[in-house]
């Protein structure tokens, strides 16, 4: 039986040209700069696209699964810049989809962007389709991921990745972070990497499918610059933090 939708309020605020999504509190669940609706406004959403630096550019990703819709920022970015990618979004609250379409310019194109109402954990456990990219960014009004931070969820995500697939989850440092990383490492048999925290305090963790990730600093910098020129997404700060954490040409990012 599907899990019931949350009953928290959904609020919208605007300040300095940015529209924000809230779930009944001051906690920001999504944002859009009104003048640039396709851009990634929040630091951590940009960081979640760092997987684009970890695989060779071209035909990857061809399929993406997003757990949690929010303001639709990640879905819109992939929709805009990766026309060959088929995007599935699983959102537990039907009101969030309505708000994303009404106030945050989420495209209505079910052939390329399929929004399904349901629990992301259930979707992963019950389905068989594999994905090149799985992004998990689901929280309740109190910033808790609930079923999206369990061993079963991470194991199901690992099982649904293609050989070249990447799983990416947004974690909060103050919300049981260490145990979350342990659960991810167990599910992915150690094939994961914790990125340095973003300025907002969010931390992005990646896990992979069967194909290893091995990329040096020079390649990261080259791919980040090519991505910036093509999409205006600036991941150079992410690359700089990886460099500060010890990634170099001689000591590449490997997991």
Any idea which residues carry the catalytic annotation?
A: 137
What is the C-alpha separation between 122 and 30, in angstroms, rounded?
23
Reading the block at residue 146, the tokens are: 């609930």
Quickly tell me which residue has 């979640």 as its tokens: 48
Question: How many alpha carbons fall within 13 Å on the CB side of residue 16?
Answer: 2
Contact in structure between 163 and 211 (CB atoms under 8 Å): yes
Closest alpha carbon to 215 in 234, 198, 232, 235: 235
Burial class (CB in 10 A: 0-12, 13-18, 19+), 199: exposed
Closest alpha carbon to 73 in 5, 18, 119, 14: 18
């Amino acid at each position: 039986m599907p899990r019931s939708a949350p009953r928290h309020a959904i609020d919208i605020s605007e300040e300095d040209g940015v529209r924000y999504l809230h779930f009944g509190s001051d906690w920001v669940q999504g944002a859009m700069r009104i003048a640039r609706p396709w851009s990634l406004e929040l630091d951590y959403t940009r960081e979640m696209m760092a997987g684009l630096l970890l695989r060779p550019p071209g035909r990857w990703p061809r399929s993406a699964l997003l757990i949690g819709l929010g303001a639709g920022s990640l879905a819109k970015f992939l929709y805009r810049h990766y026309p060959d990618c088929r995007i599935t979004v699983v959102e537990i609250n039907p009101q969030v989809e309505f708000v994303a379409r009404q106030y945050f310019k989420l495209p209505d194109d079910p052939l390329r962007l399929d929004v399904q109402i349901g629990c992301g954990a259930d979707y992963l456990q019950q389905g068989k389709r594999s994905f090149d990219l799985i992004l998990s960014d689901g929280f309740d009004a109190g910033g808790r991921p609930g079923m999206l931070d369990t061993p079963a969820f991470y194991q199901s995500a690992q099982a649904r990745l293609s050989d070249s697939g990447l799983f990416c989850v947004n974690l909060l440092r103050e919300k049981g972070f260490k145990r979350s990383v342990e659960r991810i490492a167990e599910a992915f048999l150690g094939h994961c990497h914790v990125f340095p925290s973003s300025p907002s305090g969010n931390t992005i963790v990646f896990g992979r499918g069967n194909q290893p990730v091995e990329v040096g600093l020079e390649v990261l910098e080259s791919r980040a610059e090519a991505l910036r020129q093509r999409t205006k997404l600036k991941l150079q700060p992410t690359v700089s933090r990886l460099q500060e954490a010890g990634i170099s040409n001689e000591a590449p990012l490997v997991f």
